[in-house]
């Protein structure tokens, strides 16, 4: 998806791959897997205070963004059949998608600015090139991540909402209404997946079940690329050095070791960077290697992944401290630190001296 409002930066390094991931206090869901008591560092409390914020403020933002995501999800669901009808009559569906993208983002901006008028806003549909993410609190919005999937009726797309502070995500919400998957996180308070079941009748209550991420409390070993299921997207840049690098790494990852390849378990292309980050956070994917996407594609998922014990390096070799605005990302699920680092360095080894350039 193309940019909309602004971009931000965040970093992770081998020394900071892990943090304690705690239970959030929201009563949004009806069932929660066991989790420990929230723990916030004094440094983070001071960081919040510099911007006149508290942990309660982050909880309130979290709850607001969930409400907004649910409203955006309803808009996406209401478009499903209209979408299919348009496609069946061979009408151009891109205008329809653009209409919903803009409609949802306008709603997100209106509601966030009404509640927090002094916070910044960075959205994909309203982004102006050259805009940079600031240290001040900023909402980051991708109204529909996975627009191509949405336009074709493929149910792997989501609304992605985040709050950044000092160019780092501190709240992340990703919601796929077609699957009823709501991913949420607050910095230092853990990451969660809430499964939302739609009522089968007008008299039935909506059902919710909440799980702490990753779904496996003790993540399975990840000794090498050979054991990994990896996500890799294709983007819209289909020629030039970046395309050659992407396809070359893809081929090496899939090729048998006897032929000089890494022979990973397989590659998945799901069509949504936000959801790829969430699938890595829950442990369904082992890693996601990507160049060319934007801050709004990854910001919320980044927060969710780190709170689930995962790490984010850069897609390019040697980049242990990627910025949100850097456009290259390497998300790795929770595992022993040496295993996370090993997987990153193995892919960097495949790349050699080559790098994505954006």
CA dihedral 137, 143, 147, 151 (to 10 degrees): 180
Res. 23: pLDDT tops 50? no
135 lies in the same domain as 233: no
Res. 205: pLDDT tops 80? no
Task: State how many domains the chain has.
Answer: 2
Q: Please, are residues 225 and 346 in contact by the beta-carbon 8 Å criterion? A: yes
State residue 79's pLDDT score: 87
Q: What integer is the mean pLDDT of 215-233?
A: 97
pLDDT tens, position by position, 278-302? 999 999 999 999 999 999 999 999 9
Flag whether 145 is marked binding.
Answer: yes
Where is average pLDDT lowest: 1-10, 123-132, 190-199? 1-10
Residue 186 — pLDDT band, cuts 50, 70, 90? very high
Flag whether 297 is marked binding.
Answer: yes
Question: E-strand spans in the chain?
Answer: 120-123, 138-145, 158-165, 168-176, 181-186, 191-197, 207-212, 229-231, 266-268, 287-291, 311-313, 328-332
Question: E-strand spans in 178-254?
Answer: 181-186, 191-197, 207-212, 229-231
Residue 219 — pLDDT band, cuts 50, 70, 90? very high
255 lies in the same domain as 158: no
**What 3-state DSSP class applies to 170?**
strand
Res. 333: pLDDT tops 60? yes
152 lies in the same domain as 53: yes
Res. 160: pLDDT tops 70? yes
State residue 32's pLDDT score: 35
State residue 236's pLDDT score: 87
Where is average pLDDT lowest: 21-30, 164-173, 336-345? 21-30
Q: What is the share, in percent, of the chain residues with pLDDT greater than 90?
A: 76
Residue 13 — pLDDT band, cuts 50, 70, 90? very low
Flag whether 338 is marked binding.
Answer: no
342 lies in the same domain as 246: yes
Residue 170 lies inside a defined structural domain of this protein: yes
Q: For residue 39, what are the domain limits? A: 14-212
Q: Please, are residues 19 and 311 in contact by the beta-carbon 8 Å criterion? A: no
Q: Which of 305, 272, 260, 261 is nearest to 287 (CA)?
A: 305
State residue 199's pLDDT score: 61
The CATH number linked to 308 is: 3.40.190.80
The pTM score is 0.87
44 lies in the same domain as 108: yes
Residue 6 lies inside a defined structural domain of this protein: no
State residue 14's pLDDT score: 56
State residue 177's pLDDT score: 97
Where is average pLDDT lowest: 8-12, 136-140, 177-181, 207-211? 8-12
State residue 3's pLDDT score: 42
- Burial tier of 34 (Cβ tally within 10 Å: 0-12, 13-18, 19+): exposed
Res. 342: pLDDT tops 60? yes
CA dihedral 137, 98, 275, 321 (to 10 degrees): -50
Q: Which of 133, 129, 131, 195 is nearest to 163 (CA)?
A: 133
Residue 257 lies inside a defined structural domain of this protein: yes
205 lies in the same domain as 242: no
Residue 27 — pLDDT band, cuts 50, 70, 90? very low
Higher pLDDT, 258 or 235: 258
State residue 226's pLDDT score: 96
Res. 103: pLDDT tops 90? yes
Residue 281 lies inside a defined structural domain of this protein: yes
133 lies in the same domain as 67: yes
Residue 8 lies inside a defined structural domain of this protein: no
Higher pLDDT, 34 or 188: 188
177 lies in the same domain as 257: no
Residue 348 to residues 176, 221, 315, 352, Cα–Cα distance (Å): 31, 20, 8, 6
Flag whether 144 is marked binding.
Answer: yes
139 lies in the same domain as 235: no
Res. 159: pLDDT tops 90? yes
Flag whether 124 is marked binding.
Answer: yes
The CATH number linked to 138 is: 3.30.540.10
149 lies in the same domain as 37: yes
Find tokens 């996180």 and name the residue.
185
pLDDT tens, position by position, 63-98? 999 999 999 999 999 987 776 655 333 334 444 466
Q: How far apart are the first and last CA of the chain?
A: 15
State residue 82's pLDDT score: 73
195 lies in the same domain as 233: no
156 lies in the same domain as 293: no
């Amino acid at each position: 998806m193309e940019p909309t409002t602004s971009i931000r930066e965040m970093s992770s390094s081998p020394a900071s791959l892990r943090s304690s991931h705690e239970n959030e206090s929201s009563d949004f869901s009806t069932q929660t897997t066991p989790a420990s008591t929230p723990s916030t560092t004094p440094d983070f409390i001071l960081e919040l205070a510099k911007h006149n914020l508290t942990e309660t403020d982050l909880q309130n933002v979290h709850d607001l963004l969930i409400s907004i995501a649910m409203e955006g999800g309803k808009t996406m669901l209401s478009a499903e059949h209209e979408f299919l009808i348009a496609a069946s009559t061979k009408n151009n569906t891109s205008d329809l998608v653009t209409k919903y993208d803009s409609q949802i983002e306008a709603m997100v901006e209106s509601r966030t600015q009404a509640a927090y008028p002094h916070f910044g806003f960075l959205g994909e549909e309203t982004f102006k090139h050259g805009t940079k993410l600031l240290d001040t609190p900023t909402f980051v919005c991708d109204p529909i991540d996975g627009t191509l999937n949405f336009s074709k009726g493929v149910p792997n797309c989501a609304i992605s909402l985040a709050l950044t502070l000092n160019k780092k995500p501190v709240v992340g919400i990703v919601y796929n209404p077609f699957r009823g998957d709501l991913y949420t996180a607050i910095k230092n308070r853990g990451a969660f997946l809430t499964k939302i079941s739609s009522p089968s009748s007008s008299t039935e209550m909506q059902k919710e079940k909440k799980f702490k991420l990753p779904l496996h409390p003790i993540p399975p070993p990840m000794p090498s690329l050979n054991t990994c299921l990896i996500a890799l997207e294709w983007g819209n840049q289909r020629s030039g050095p970046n395309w050659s690098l992407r396809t070359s790494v893809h081929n090496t990852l899939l090729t048998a070791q006897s032929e000089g390849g890494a022979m990973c378990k397989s590659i998945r292309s799901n069509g949504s960077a936000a959801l790829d980050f969430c699938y890595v956070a829950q442990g369904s994917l082992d890693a996601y290697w990507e160049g060319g996407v934007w801050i709004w594609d990854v910001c919320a998922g980044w927060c969710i992944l780190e709170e689930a014990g995962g790490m984010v390096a850069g897609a390019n070799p040697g980049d242990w401290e990627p910025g949100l605005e850097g456009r290259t990302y390497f998300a790795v699920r929770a595992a022993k630190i040496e295993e996370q680092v090993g997987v990153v360095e193995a892919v960097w080894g495949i790349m050699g001296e080559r790098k994505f350039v954006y």
